[in-house]
Structure 1
Amino acid sequence: MRMLPVRLHPGDDLRRALEVVVAGEGAAAAFVLSGIGSLRPAMIRLAGAEEVTVIDADTELLTLSGTIAAQVVPGPGSSHLHLSVADAQGRVIGGHAGYGCIVRTTAEVLLALLPGWHFSREIDPVTGWAELAVRRQPGR
């Protein structure tokens, strides 16, 4: 495991930028250990919801965690990130981080890169959702 501190910049798509960083480091799998910063908009899929909630206002990124699959295309095999954000009144909301969460001023993230591992998403017959599949990369 190798730690990688990352700072994302204004205008970066939080989720996609992290996938690109991980792929650029030659890793196929990583965990987000910590993340803070600010977003506008925030794209959040709430628990049990099928549609994304769009918060088109300045928000503080309070927490960010999850898994990153170093694919740069959304869909099966993509990352699974959770976040919590606070609005200007301090109200907090959290859920799944969608593509389109745009960094407002900064995002400071600590990644744990996992050389020799590959993450993907496969439909789980019990949950019906695309769940994490963890595999060793060949030759490692």
Structure 2
Amino acid sequence: MRTYALRLGPGQDLRQQLLAFTEQHQIRAGAVVTCVGSLTTATLRLANQDGPTVYKGHFEIVSLVGTLSTNGSHLHLAMADSTGRTLGGHLLDGNIIYTTAELVIGVLEELDFRRETDPVSTYKELTIYPAPKPAPLPRRASPKKP
């Protein structure tokens, strides 16, 4: 597994930055290894809800897990408020960093994650394929000897 470490700063959107990082590095199969930090705004889709729920205040990121791919990512966030109450759900755009977000991303270079419609759930779910083989480099002609 190849790994990346990155730190995001105040005011950045956690999900948008992760998706931009995934595109920039052309990650086809990745996972969030760890993430700690803080938020001033959290936007989550809670279990069995259609729309977003927005929380304002100061929150500690206690966990961020999920898969990353240029073909579609799926991320869940757990956060705690100032009383230690923990909330969690599907990470949406609108999670604004307060002081920092420190992340380690793992890349599984032998795999290719894709999102395809599942006939049972009817949602686009993870499908796992072997990574495409790189095209062979063209052979150079040998110089002719006199």
Aligned equivalents of 1:126 and 1:117: distance in 2? 24
TM-score w.r.t. the length of structure 1 is: 0.87
Q: Quote the residue 1:8 is aligned against.
A: 8
Deviation at 1:99, TM superposition (A): 1.3
AA in 2 matched with 1:85: M
Aligned equivalents of 1:135 and 1:103: distance in 2? 34
Deviation at 1:22, TM superposition (A): 2.5
Alpha-carbon contact 1:45-1:52 (below 8 Å) kept: yes
CA-to-partner distance for each residue in 1:34-54, whole Å, 9 max, x for gaps?
111011210111111111110
Q: Quote the residue 2:35 is aligned against.
A: 35
Alpha-carbon contact 1:44-1:52 (below 8 Å) kept: yes
Runs of 4+ aligned residues of structure 1 deviating over 3 Å after TM superposition are none
Aligned equivalents of 2:32 and 2:131: distance in 1? 20
Runs of 5+ consecutive residues of structure 1 not aligned to the other structure: 71-76
Alpha-carbon contact 2:112-2:132 (below 8 Å) kept: no
Q: Quote the residue 1:134 is aligned against.
A: 128
Identity rate of aligned residues, in percent? 40
Alpha-carbon contact 1:22-1:113 (below 8 Å) kept: no
Q: Number of aligned residue pairs: give it.
A: 134
AA in 1 matched with 2:51: E
CA-to-partner distance for each residue in 1:75-106, whole Å, 9 max, x for gaps?
xx431111111112221101111111111110
Runs of 5+ consecutive residues of structure 2 not aligned to the other structure: 135-146
1:27-66 to 2 correspondences below 5 Å: 27-66=27-66
Provide the secondary structure at the position in 2 that maps to 1:41. strand
AA in 2 matched with 1:24: Q
Q: Quote the residue 1:101 is aligned against.
A: 95
Deviation at 1:117, TM superposition (A): 3.1
Provide the secondary structure at the position in 2 that maps to 1:57. strand
Aligned equivalents of 1:56 and 1:130: distance in 2? 30
AA in 2 matched with 1:52: P
Deviation at 1:123, TM superposition (A): 1.5
More deviation, 87-96/112-121: 112-121
| RMSD between aligned residues | 1.6
RCO (CA 8 Å, sep 6+): is it higher in 1 or 2? Answer: 1
TM-score w.r.t. the length of structure 2 is: 0.83
